[in-house]
Structure 1
Amino acid sequence: MSHDRSVSSFDPAAVPIRGASTVMLVRDSARGVEVFLQQRVVGMDFAGGMTVFPGGGVDPSDTDASVRWSGPDVAWWAERFATDEATARALVLAAVRETFEECGVLLAGPDTDTLVADTAVYAGARRKLEARELSFGDFLAREGLVLRADLLRPWANWITPLGERRRYDTRFFIAAAPDGQRADGETSEADEVRWRTAAEELEYWRSGRCVLLPPTWTQLTDLARYRTVAEIMAAEVTVEPVLPVMSKRDGMIHISFDGEDGYYAVGSHPWAQRADL
């Protein structure tokens, strides 16, 4: 959520809502399930300085209907995310594309049963994708790759509250980190990346060493309940949209949502202190 909140420069009701996808990559470790996290570059227009999962807005090219696809069909995803099939296709393509762009993990393979073993050979294409010089559909077609939608699971849906200058209707996905592929920090959008268990990151947040927005905090809180990646991937999750309400309390921004007591129990938050509604 951005911090530029001058009072009369825009009409909050006129801000369009853009579709977005976020992917929580998880892996088993001796300490429990770890999740891949990025600390975004300070000063970015959206969530600058915040700790987030890889993801971003849906691109017009994500509507490409020619992409070869393995796993649940578009109708299945549309039902799970309570949307139309065109939107569902774009959300899944955006999820896979953004994960590849932001951390180098590619959920695609030569056929419906295999995965790319080493994504380093696609480094040049990755840079072009991030610069929007190449569409994801064209990249997959050129390399003869099948998108592995079967490796993703739907998890949550959060909508940016009214009052923000940028608003997103974000679907959260879960995916097991593929064996042999390495998630990295080679993106212009992240200052730092790390693998942490949800409990470790929540403790890091409580110590004041990172900033989590409510959607990220909520997903980490949910993930902390699971002992293995297999449990997470097998979980039956009902995705219902969450639309928080933003208000001003005691001179600071307050985001109201189900479970907020746990979020605010640790005291005030740096992003709220900097806000000027």
Structure 2
Amino acid sequence: MGYVARVNTIPAVPRPAATVILVRDRPDPSGERPSLQVFLQRRVPTMAFAAGMTVFPGGAVDAGDSIVPARTRGPGAAEWGRRFSCEPGQAAGYLHAAVRETFEECGVLLAGPAGPPSGAGEPVLDDAAAHAARTGLIERTRTLAGVLDDAGLALRADLLHPWARWITPEQEPRRYDAAFFVAALPAGQAADARTTEAVEARWWRPADILREHAGGAARLMPPTWLTLTELAGFEDAAAVVAAAADRVVTPVRPTLVRKGERTVAVVGDREITLP
């Protein structure tokens, strides 16, 4: 979500979207206590939306996200609807878009063998199959359901957990109703920067990227800033996943207010200055 602070006579209808807060524990060969990291991308400056912003992987729900894979492990649409405070069909779209966008943008596929989990920590697709599937999804010649079904994989809904839901302010010309999921990086997989939508992508400690934002070296949108501020209070990925395990979220609807030369997003009792 990004804010432009324009005034529209008739508010645009928010488009459903999904974001994945991908977390892991920082690898440390010295044996010191691991610390939480999150995966973030800095979007290219020519993007129509959120240009130059540092964001979590994600994007809008598209038509292919309405096609349900033959196999899904974990909560069904009704349960996701309850936890995101929306209709089951909308929640299913959030879930499928979250898995698809994470695979498209950083190569992490939240799926697994159709049978019982093996726990072996092996990639679910070999390099050639993953490249072909990712390209097909990006070019919209394949659907997530088709990719999983062809490979005999199940969508791992049990790897995802609700964190928040944000709806862009009515003043904005481009609006989204975005579900924020948390997922721990699956064993045997790695997140990469091979996307045309970002100029760089890497793992950050939440406190470090918040300092970069405060100093002007990075630009964070209000939902990203507030989420990272919340995550900075957790020691490791397990603690984040545990905090989201039973979470039920309701939409956050920020409002935009002018404060002299600044525009701020007001969320409850917080005022977040727009980048």
- TM superposition score normalised by structure 2: 0.89
- AA in 1 matched with 2:228: L
Contact 1:106 1:116 in 2 (8 A): no
1:225 aligned partner, one-letter code: G
Q: How far does residue 65 in structure 1 lie from its aligned partner after superposition? A: 2.9
Q: Give the unaligned 5+ runs of structure 1.
A: 272-277
Candidates 109, 128, 145, aligned match of 2:112: 109
Q: 1:195 to 1:100 in 2, by over 3 A?
A: same
1:44-123 → structure 2 map (5 Å cutoff): 44-111=47-114, 112-114=116-118, 117=123, 119=125, 120-121=127-128, 122-123=130-131
> Identical aligned pairs, as a percentage?
44
Give the Cα–Cα distance (whole angstroms) in 2 for the partners of residues 135 and 76 of structure 1.
23
Q: Does 1:28 align with 2:25?
A: yes
Separation in structure 1 between the aligned mates of residue 5 and residue 267 of structure 2, nearest angstrom: 22
Do the aligned partners of residues 42 and 2 (structure 1) sit closer, same or farther apart at CA in structure 2, a change above 3 Å counting?
A: farther
Note if contact 1:12-1:162 (Cα within 8 Å) is conserved in structure 2: no
- Mark the CA change 1:137 to 1:237 in structure 2 (over 3 Å): closer, same or farther: same
Letter in 2 for 1:65: V
Conserved 8 A contact 2:11-2:170: no
| In 1, Cα distance between equivalents of 2:261 and 2:213 | 22
Q: Amino acid of the residue matched to residue 258 of structure 1?
A: G
Q: Which residue of 2 aligns with 1:140?
A: 148
TM-superposed CA distance for 1:51, in Å, is 0.5
- For residue 229 of structure 2, what is the aligned residue in structure 1? 221
The amino acid of 1:217's aligned partner reads W
After TM superposition, the runs of 4+ consecutive aligned structure 1 residues lying more than 4 A away are: 2-5
Q: Is the counterpart of residue 126 in structure 1 residue 134 in structure 2?
A: yes
The answer to whether the 8 A contact 2:15-2:177 is kept is: yes
State the Cα distance separating 1:220 from its structure 2 match: 0.4
Could you tell which deviates more after superposition, 99-108 or 127-136? 127-136
Does the 8 Å CA contact 1:161/1:243 hold for their aligned counterparts? yes
In structure 2, how many angstroms separate the alpha carbons of the residues matched to 1:4 and 1:258? 18
Distance 1:246 1:139, change over 3 A: same
**CA 1:108–1:18: 2 relative to 1, 3 Å:** same
Task: Output the amino acid matched with 1:195.
Answer: W
How many residues matched?
261
Q: Which residue of 2 aligns with 1:152?
A: 160
1:97-119 Cα deviation digits (max 9, x unpaired): 00000000001112252576154
The answer to whether the 8 A contact 1:2-1:45 is kept is no
Q: Distance in 1 between matches of 2:234 and 2:266?
A: 26
Aligned residue for 2:186, secondary structure, equals coil
Specify whether residues 126 and 116 from structure 1 end up closer, same or farther in structure 2 by C-alpha distance, changes over 3 A only.
Answer: farther
SS in 2 for 1:242: coil
- TM-score, scaled to structure 1: 0.88
Q: Residue in 2 aligned with 1:274?
A: none
Structure 2: state its 5+ residue gaps: 29-33
Q: CA deviation at 1:144?
A: 1.4
Q: Is the CA contact 1:108–1:116 (under 8 Å) kept in the aligned structure 2?
A: no
The residue type equivalent to 1:117 in the other structure is P
Deviations 1:36-93 (A, max 9, x none): 0000111211111000000000011111134310011221111001111111111111
- Aligned residue for 1:250? 260
Per-residue CA shift, 1:171-230, capped at 9, x if unaligned? 100000011111011111111111011111111111110001110001101111111211
RMSD of the alignment, in Å?
A: 1.9
